[in-house]
Chains A and B, each alone.
Chain A
Amino acid sequence: MNQPLAYVNPQAKVATNVVIEPFVTIDKNVIIEEGTWIGSNVTILEGTRIGKNCRIFPGAVISAVPQDLKFSGEDTIVKIGNNVTIREFVTINRGTKASYETVVGDDTLLMAYVHVAHDCIIGNNVIIANAVTLGGHIVIDDWSIVGGMVGVHQFVHIGSHCMIAGGCIVRKDVPPYTKSARQPLSYVGINSIGLRRRGFSMDVINQIQEIYRIIYLKGYNVSQALEIIEAEVEARPERDEILSFISNSSIGIMKGYSKLTAK
């Protein structure tokens, strides 16, 4: 914590064993918990809450004001969980009056150059690859992986255990357990490898597969598919998660690839 070459505002609450490298700036109204490492040239501004054992790499800027022009100086925060890794030049903006906070969950990895805009809610165990740019108000559920250089439109919801291919543009909600790719972003299968690694049973994976076959490959529209799934597929937490994701989707879910090639 003793670092003569850093600026730490006396009102910041920094745990004693936090390591601060040279040329770090820590503003007032900041809380940093035990075991966290702050690399050189990191700027941590008003409203930051950082959990335990995080690593913040050189050049990152946390809790700068939102890039939203409607922002008018509200008192908002950035909440970062435990064991989070934030790589070089990541920018995380604080919230606006829409939800008053930007959240990054536990064990999440934000790779170099990632931008997390105001009011984003990122879950636990999420991996966001290099140079991904998130618009405002985005929700990313637990265990999702977003490929490098992806752009995500504001208000998009990305379900849990998703995998989005590098270089894509995301403009629609991405339902849980899916793989998505191509332009425009389309369903290209379920994330069976990810699910297997995380201990989902073959039965559950097959059921998820079956559900998405009904949604994307049989030619139904979304409301028809939902009715059929509710009637025909056995109720399980995964089924209900998919159904509630789709019914709560405000901007609609991504298309199926088969629809693009069909007559």
Chain B
Amino acid sequence: MNQPLAYVNPQAKVATNVVIEPFVTIDKNVVIEEGTWIGSNVTILEGTRIGKNCKIFPGAVISAIPQDLKFAGEDTIVKIGNNVTIREFVTINRGTKASYETVVGDNTLLMAYAHVAHDCIIGNNVILANASMLAGHIIIDDWAIIGGMVPIHQFCHIGTHSIIQGGSGVGKDVPPYTKAGRDPLSYVGVNSIGLRRRGFTREVINQIQQIYRILYLKGYNVTQAVKIIEAEMEATPERDEILSFIANSSRGIMKGYSYLNSKKSKMEGI
């Protein structure tokens, strides 16, 4: 904590065993808990709450005001959980009056140059690869993995255990347990490797597979598919997670890849 070459505002609450490297700036109204490491040249501004055992690498800027032009100086925060790794030059903006906070869950890894805008809610065990750009109000559920250089449109919702291919643009909601890729972003399968690694049983993975086959490959529209899934698939937590995700999707879910190859899409010139 003793670092003569850093500026720590006397009103900041920094736990005694926090390591602060040279040229760090810590503003007032900041709370940093035990065991966290703050690399050199990091800037931590008003409204930051950082949990235990986090690692923040050189150059990161946390809790700067939102880039939203509607922001009018509200008193908002950034809440970062425990064991979070924030790599070089990551920027995390604080909330606006929409939800008053930007949240990063426990054990999450934000790789270099990632940008987390105002009011984003990122779950636990999420991985954001290099230079992923999140716009405002995005929700990313637990265990999702976002590839490198992925821009995500504001208000998108990324489901749990999904994985998004690097470089894809995300403009629609990505349902849980899926792999998404191509342009425009499409369903390209179930994230079966991720699910197996995290201990999902073969039966559960097969059921998820079956659900997405009905949703994306049989030619139904979303409403029809949801009805069939409700009627024919056994109720499991995973099934209900998928159904409630789709029912609550405000931007609509991403398309299936087969749609792009269909006669209909050729006629529309997509």
Q: Which residues of A contact B (CB under 8 A)?
A: 5, 21-23, 39-41, 57-59, 87-89, 109, 111-113, 127, 130-131, 148-149, 166-167, 183, 261
Cα A261 to Cα B25 with chains together (Å)? 54
Count of inter-chain pairs, beta carbons less than 8 A: 75
B69 surroundings in chain A (CB, below 8 A) = 109, 127
Among residues of A, the one whose C-beta sits closest to the C-beta of B183 is A183
B91-A41 in contact (CB<8A): no
A167 surroundings in chain B (CB, below 8 A) = 151, 169
Distance in angstroms from B149 CB to nearest chain A CB is 7
Query: B41 contacts the other chain (Cβ, under 8 Å)?
Result: yes
Distance in angstroms from B76 CB to nearest chain A CB is 16
Chain B interface residue number, banded: 20 to 34
A89 surroundings in chain B (CB, below 8 A) = 59, 61, 89, 91
A58 surroundings in chain B (CB, below 8 A) = 25, 43, 45, 61, 64
A41-B25 in contact (CB<8A): yes
Among residues of B, the one whose C-beta sits closest to the C-beta of A24 is B25
B113-A113 in contact (CB<8A): yes
A112-B25 in contact (CB<8A): no
Among residues of A, the one whose C-beta sits closest to the C-beta of B135 is A148
| Residue of A39, A112, A131 touching B43 (CB-CB under 8 A) | A39
Query: B30 contacts the other chain (Cβ, under 8 Å)?
Result: no
B198-226 interface code vs A (CB 8 A; 1 in, 0 out) = 00000000000000000000000000000
B25 surroundings in chain A (CB, below 8 A) = 21-23, 40-41, 58
Q: Which 9 residue pairs are nearest across A and B when measured between Cβ atoms?
A: A40-B25, A22-B7, A58-B43, A261-B269, A167-B169, A58-B61, A88-B61, A88-B91, A23-B23
Query: B67 contacts the other chain (Cβ, under 8 Å)?
Result: yes
B113 surroundings in chain A (CB, below 8 A) = 113, 131
| Residue of B23, B59, B61, B151 touching A166 (CB-CB under 8 A) | B151
| Residue of B41, B61, B67, B169 touching A23 (CB-CB under 8 A) | B41
Cα A21 to Cα B115 with chains together (Å)? 22
Cα A57 to Cα B169 with chains together (Å)? 27
Subset of 12 A-B contacts with CB under 8 Å: A22-B7, A22-B25, A23-B41, A41-B41, A57-B64, A87-B67, A88-B61, A111-B67, A113-B91, A131-B131, A148-B133, A148-B135
Given A57-B64, A130-B133, 8 new contacts (CB under 8 A) = A23-B41, A40-B43, A58-B64, A131-B113, A131-B115, A131-B133, A166-B153, A167-B151
B61 surroundings in chain A (CB, below 8 A) = 57-59, 88-89
Among residues of B, the one whose C-beta sits closest to the C-beta of A85 is B67
A109 surroundings in chain B (CB, below 8 A) = 67, 69
| Residue of A57, A59, A149 touching B133 (CB-CB under 8 A) | A149
| Residue of B64, B153, B183, B269 touching A88 (CB-CB under 8 A) | B64
Distance in angstroms from A53 CB to nearest chain B CB is 15
| Residue of A23, A127, A131 touching B7 (CB-CB under 8 A) | A23
A57 surroundings in chain B (CB, below 8 A) = 61, 64
B40-80 interface code vs A (CB 8 A; 1 in, 0 out) = 01010100000000000001010010010100000000000
Distance in angstroms from A72 CB to nearest chain B CB is 30
| Residue of A5, A23, A113, A183 touching B115 (CB-CB under 8 A) | A113
B67-A41 in contact (CB<8A): no
B169 surroundings in chain A (CB, below 8 A) = 166-167
Cα A80 to Cα B131 with chains together (Å)? 27
A88 surroundings in chain B (CB, below 8 A) = 61, 64, 89, 91
Cα A148 to Cα B43 with chains together (Å)? 24
Cα A72 to Cα B138 with chains together (Å)? 45
B149 surroundings in chain A (CB, below 8 A) = 149
Distance in angstroms from A36 CB to nearest chain B CB is 16
A41-B23 in contact (CB<8A): yes
Cα A131 to Cα B112 with chains together (Å)? 13
Among residues of A, the one whose C-beta sits closest to the C-beta of B269 is A261
B88-99 interface code vs A (CB 8 A; 1 in, 0 out) = 010100000000
B91 surroundings in chain A (CB, below 8 A) = 87-89, 112-113
Q: Which of B110-135 contact A (CB under 8 A)?
A: 113, 115, 131, 133, 135
Cα A131 to Cα B135 with chains together (Å)? 12
* CB contact under 8 A between A112 and B41, given known A41-B23, A57-B61: no
A59-B59 in contact (CB<8A): yes
B153 surroundings in chain A (CB, below 8 A) = 166
A130 surroundings in chain B (CB, below 8 A) = 67, 115, 133, 151
Among residues of B, the one whose C-beta sits closest to the C-beta of A58 is B43
Among residues of A, the one whose C-beta sits closest to the C-beta of B69 is A109
A40 surroundings in chain B (CB, below 8 A) = 7, 25, 43
Distance in angstroms from B69 CB to nearest chain A CB is 7
Cα A39 to Cα B91 with chains together (Å)? 14
Among residues of A, the one whose C-beta sits closest to the C-beta of B41 is A41
Among residues of B, the one whose C-beta sits closest to the C-beta of A39 is B43
